[in-house]
Amino acid sequence: MESKLHSGFFHPVLRQIQESSTSISPSNLMYPVFIIYGENKLIAALKPLVAKGLSSILLFGVINSSLKDNTASVADTVKNPVLPAIQLLKKVYPDLLIVCDVCLCGYTDHGHCGILTKDGIIDNEASLKRIAEVALGYAKFGCHVVAPSDMMDGRVKAIKDILHGAGYGSTVSVLSYAAKFASKFYGPFRDAADSAPAFGDRRQYQLPPGSKGLALRAVSRDIEEGADMIMVKPGLAYLDIANEVKRKHSEYPLFMYQVSGEYAMLIHASKAGVFSLKEAALESLTSMRRAGVDVIITYFVPSLLLEWL
């Protein structure tokens, strides 16, 4: 019999059935939030979202430039606004999953993701030690998940080792930015977090955009080192990577970060009348779910939870 397709999706309920594996619910969303020292707007901002089902949050710290140095010495002290925020969140929203981005770029005066040698190149071993110390600092203050985004070789093992040694091996998870690409879509984030490199770029430690093989090797390496969950970043330009990772490592929860540049493109295009923001944003998020992504980190969380879902 000749195959006919229209009879399979002519009705709204049939269309929902065809898309059942791409549904978006609060459990598929994680909200990225920037914490600024001295500001206390976090609890009020999250209240309506938690009431609508927000269950996880990804925290980034933003500090004054005067506190930055070449070793990110402030990152694991109370001068990092993330640390007191963790304790406040646990008190007010005890069921909220608290994830902390672990990187040095927002706390170093040079803006790179690791410790540099005198020649201005990455000192991987020194970077591992410092990144692990920062991860332990977040664990001590009560975060549930540390998420290393630095892309240093061996950082998952370094973090796992220090967490186990300090007694947090079974109570703090590691969400690895396992496949993080040297993307042009990060621009708005770097402005907001004041974390752009003071010189050079991050191509020596972030993946080349066309590198499928390297990306899969990076994911496999981080899994071997003990990562509990894995992430692909950015989003739409790397759906093929997400799909391949999920196919090869289906037993691991897969996260994808719809980064600030992607968010900005959708916002500006909608303001220019190119399309409906709601429909285009939902289409982009649905494509990530279709690729196999379990949790999407997106700045659209307030719109999704309060208006769209």
What pLDDT, in 10s, does the model give residues 31-50?
999 999 766 799 999 999 99
User: What sign for the dihedral angle of Cα 277, 279, 282, 288?
Assistant: negative
Predicted pLDDT at 218: 97
Question: Mean of the pLDDT values across residues 208-220?
Answer: 97
Percent of residues, the chain, with pLDDT higher than 90: 82
Q: Is the pLDDT reported for residue 133 higher than 60?
A: yes
Predicted pLDDT at 168: 97
Residue 73's CB: how many other CB atoms inside 10 A? 14
Predicted pLDDT at 40: 77
Predicted pLDDT at 4: 82
Q: Using CA atoms, how far apart are residues 41 and 287, in angstroms rounded to an integer?
A: 33
Predicted pLDDT at 38: 66
Residue showing tokens 């390297």:
214
Q: What residues are designated binding site for 5-aminolevulinate?
A: 190, 202, 260, 299
Identify the three-state secondary structure at position 188: helix
Predicted pLDDT at 1: 58
Predicted pLDDT at 18: 87
Q: Is the pLDDT reported for residue 191 higher than 90?
A: no
Predicted pLDDT at 7: 75
Predicted pLDDT at 155: 96
Average pLDDT, whole number, for the chain?
93
Predicted pLDDT at 72: 96
Predicted pLDDT at 200: 53
DSSP 108-160: BSS--SS-B-TTSSB-HHHHHHHHHHHHHHHHHTT-SEEEE-S--TTHHHHHH
Confidence of residue 204 (pLDDT cuts 50, 70, 90): confident
Question: In sequence order, what are the beta bridge partners of 297?
Answer: 30, 257
Predicted pLDDT at 214: 96
Say if CB 282 and CB 208 are below 8 A apart.
no
Question: Mean of the pLDDT values across residues 91-112?
Answer: 95
Predicted pLDDT at 160: 97
Catalytic residue among 41, 180, 212, 248: 180
Residue showing tokens 């295009």:
269
Say if CB 161 and CB 139 are below 8 A apart.
no
Q: Is the pLDDT reported for residue 93 higher than 60?
A: yes
Q: Is the pLDDT reported for residue 306 higher than 60?
A: yes
Predicted pLDDT at 201: 66
Question: Mean of the pLDDT values across residues 261-269?
Answer: 96
Confidence of residue 114 (pLDDT cuts 50, 70, 90): very high
Confidence of residue 198 (pLDDT cuts 50, 70, 90): low
Q: Which two tokens stand for residue 14?
A: 């049939």
User: Looking at 93-102, 148-157, 184-193, 205-214, which range is the least confident one?
Assistant: 184-193
Predicted pLDDT at 117: 92
Does the active-site annotation cover 233? yes
Question: Mean of the pLDDT values across residues 122-129?
Answer: 96
Does the active-site annotation cover 157? no
Q: What is the pTM of this model?
A: 0.93
Catalytic residue among 160, 233, 271, 278: 233
User: What are 18-28's pLDDT values in tens digits?
Assistant: 888 899 999 99
